[in-house]
Amino acid sequence: MNNLMLIREAETALTPIFSEIDNKVKQNLKKTLEAFREHRLGVHHFTSVTGYGHDDLGRETLDEIFAQVMGAEAAIVRVQFVSGTHAIACALFGVLRPGDEMLAVAGPPYDTLEEVIGLRGNCQGSLMDFNINYRVLGLTDQGTIDWEGLKTAISDRTRLALIQRSCGYSWRQSLSISDIEKIIKIVKQQNPQTVCFVDNCYGEFIENLEPTAVGADLMAGSLIKNPGGTIVTAGGYLAGKKVFVEAAACRLTAPGIGSEGGATFDQNRLLFQGLFLAPQMVGEALKGSHLIAYVFDKLGYPVNPLPLVPRRDIIQGIKLGSPEKLMAFCRAIQRQSPVGSYLDPVPATMPGYESQLVMAGGTFIDGSTSEFSADGPLREPYIVFCQGGTHWTHISLALEAAIEAINQTIS
């Protein structure tokens, strides 16, 4: 079977799943529209202020809408967050104090948090620098949450439980909302004062509820991932209980300023429109994820998640097994990108990452992973992680080129 026939077979087989995804998109869009309507969104909310950002009506309304959509008491949506990692760091430093303990309950966190914690790097104001203790509850041999271990893992000193929803650069299953809800219940049974914090990157609008709707005290994410709808130019968000959102906001700005500061620089319209588009863009990315999994599974490569199973984030991993295949895959994706198709991805160091990365991302927003992109650390077993996509047909075209490129590395 040639590549084109295999992709067409996948598209046909996935038709029922695509329909299910469209239904979920509709439910998430309905929730978003209800929030817009209840807060009487109008064109006057698109204007902005400069300077300190005081009395920005559009920004304040967006915070309220975002909180409602996320099922949270409060939220802040700010272009001043430079990344999801920055938003997460503000949350951690907002909640934790010297002598506290943070427990990562889903195995080691994403690479970019290692320097925030103090596991590597120069410890320039890391958590460990501030005498904040850190432990990891490892995964089981099957790569799942250690549910039995979790039942005794929380101590009186455990101030914060870090729950990373997405698999990151690991080969575990990402967490479902029901998984997160179960984790929170177990943690709170042991210590009701432990703050349950969710790194929600790549997970927004995958299901019809968000972690804050099932008990998470605080969560954070990036606006150039799911909730930005592929058009927001920068930023991140925090959502959860008001006291914790404000504590984190004080780390973004300063104590006494908190959520009252931060001009939006005429970005309000994009922020609102991005949120409106987000459910649809996530749906397209999910369809692409299914397509990639189906095709590469048929070609004999290990994939995570497996074909035809429900998605828990927008990431699709493929174990390619060699650096040559990883680079060939990323180069093919870059050539099929709308921006910078003439560029040639090469391994390079990236701030916050230990290993060199190969990254393909010819995106309209630089670094956007809600648009179709692919990347992977240059280390064994040479896994490429695909994410995003504004429409699954683009992913289908790129997939055809990627298969051909990989086959050429074999011959």
Average pLDDT, the chain: 95
pLDDT at 244 over 90: yes
β-bridge pairing 158-164 and 74-78 = unpaired
pLDDT at 15 over 80: yes
Identity of the amino acid at 341:
S
Alpha-carbon gap, residue 372 to 393, rounded angstroms = 11
* Residue 144 DSSP one-character state: S
- Other Cβ atoms less than 10 A from the Cβ of 387: the count is 25
Which among 237, 249, 261, 266 has a CA at the least distance from the CA of 69? 237
Which among 148, 199, 149, 141 has a CA at the least distance from the CA of 174? 199
Alpha-carbon gap, residue 184 to 166, rounded angstroms = 16
Q: Are 166 and 313 in contact (CB under 8 A)?
A: yes
Q: Are 304 and 296 in contact (CB under 8 A)?
A: no
- Tens-digit pLDDT profile for residues 302-334: 999 999 999 999 999 999 999 999 999 999 999
What is the model's pLDDT at position 97? 98
Alpha-carbon gap, residue 355 to 298, rounded angstroms = 30
What is the model's pLDDT at position 23? 98
Domain coordinates in residue numbering, the chain: 3-27+277-410, 41-275
What is the model's pLDDT at position 410? 60
**Assigned architecture for domain 3-27+277-410:** Alpha-Beta Complex (3.90)
The rounded percent of the chain whose pLDDT value lies above 70 is 98
Q: What is the full DSSP assignment across 262-315? A: ---TT-HHHHHHHHHHHHHHHHHHHHHHHHHHHHHHHTT--EESPTTSPPSSSE
- Tens-digit pLDDT profile for residues 342-391: 999 988 877 766 778 899 989 999 999 999 999 998 889 999 999 999 99
Q: Cα-atom radius of gyration of the chain, to the nearest Å?
A: 21
Reported as half-sphere exposure (CB side, CA atoms, 13 A), residue 390 has a value of 16
Alpha-carbon gap, residue 103 to 370, rounded angstroms = 29
The rounded percent of the chain whose pLDDT value lies above 90 is 89
- Tens-digit pLDDT profile for residues 124-181: 899 999 999 999 999 999 989 999 999 999 999 999 999 999 998 888 999 999 999 9
Q: Please give the average per-residue pLDDT across 267-284, as a whole number.
A: 98
Q: Please give the average per-residue pLDDT across 388-401, as a whole number.
A: 96
Q: Please give the average per-residue pLDDT across 112-130, as a whole number.
A: 90
Which among 129, 110, 107, 109 has a CA at the least distance from the CA of 118? 129
What is the model's pLDDT at position 170? 84
**Assigned architecture for domain 41-275:** 3-Layer(aba) Sandwich (3.40)
What is the model's pLDDT at position 352? 64
Alpha-carbon gap, residue 163 to 211, rounded angstroms = 10
Confidence of residue 110 (pLDDT cuts 50, 70, 90): confident
**pTM of the prediction?**
0.95
Which among 246, 249, 244, 199 has a CA at the least distance from the CA of 90? 249
pLDDT at 235 over 90: yes
- Other Cβ atoms less than 10 A from the Cβ of 82: the count is 12
pLDDT at 2 over 90: no
Greater pLDDT, 185 or 142:
185
Averaging pLDDT over each range in 2-11, 67-76, 163-172, which range is the top one? 67-76
Classified as helix, coil or strand, 342 is coil
What is the model's pLDDT at position 94? 98
Is the Cα dihedral 63, 227, 340, 81 positive or negative?
positive
Euclidean distance between the first and the last CA atom of the chain, given in angstroms as a whole number: 17
- Tens-digit pLDDT profile for residues 197-218: 999 999 999 999 999 999 999 9
Alpha-carbon gap, residue 173 to 171, rounded angstroms = 7
Q: What are 312's two structure tokens?
A: 């828990």
